[in-house]
Amino acid sequence: MSTARITAGELFAAQQERLALRWLAGQGKADERVLEAVDTVARRPSLAGYLNAIYPHKVQILGSEELEWLDHLDARLRWETIQKLIDFRPLALVISRNQACPEDLRLAAEESDTPLWVSPRRGHELLNHIQYKLARTLAPRITLHGVFMEIYSIGVLITGESGSGKSELALELITRGHRLVADDAPEFTQIAPDVLDGTCPDLLQDMLELRGLGVLNIRQMFGDTAVKRNKYLRMIVHLSKPTPGSKTGIERLTGDLGARRVLDLDVPMITVPVMAGRNLAVLTEAATRMHILRSKGIDPAAAFLARHSHFLEHTAP
């Protein structure tokens, strides 16, 4: 699992157009002001918020009330407060609604290379956009080996040992109208307590590698509708070579169901045996449809077992 990070310069570049941000101070060393995910683990407040001198946010927003509060402080207390804000080493200070920046605050930010921005947006707009960007960027993430697909509108990760046919299965699914998200190394980010968002590294975007054919550009071969930028992970299909005598009788009714821990979530997983003559694309589609039914509370195996029990009860002597 990789450690996510973001610099003040990257945050500014990402939000500049949407929030109409402008630099007031600290631009020269913006890429040296870094926030990492590990820095947020033990923090009590949110990543971004209105000016707080007790539990400082990493991005401090100064609205009209905050600037008015500073103006009402006496000279010594005002200097101590500004110095305390700078000593917190925030990722950035942001002034809302194009308000005039106090000169002593600007000078303190310039001397300490603290990023200081101003925006015409209201404070709550700045808070919502910056908080969302930081939370998503610094969320826990992991790279898994497999092919990530969109099948019947849900995200399905196809895993298995090298040579099990993951890429060939993905290509067959693409020809059947499903979409590729990422091949070989999809990245998953936990953006909510129960949501894993899967994306493709820029280097591998639109690419699928097959033994004997090399690297294929799926977008160029099948069109824009054959690829998708991201998808939530809802299910894992694991391809495995069957071992004689390894399955129990009940698994023939329910399927080889299980779960795989990905970050903080248990993702439903079904194991599909790889054998000569089996149509893995059809089996994967069927497994996906079964998962959709189970998520709606419909379980054919349970219904069959109930029907069987009912039959035995009414036919017993």
Catalytic residues: 145, 166, 184, 252
The residue among 34, 40, 11 whose CA lies nearest residue 117 is 11
d(CA 305, CA 78): 74
Q: Among residues 178, 270, 196, which one has the least CA distance to residue 234?
A: 196
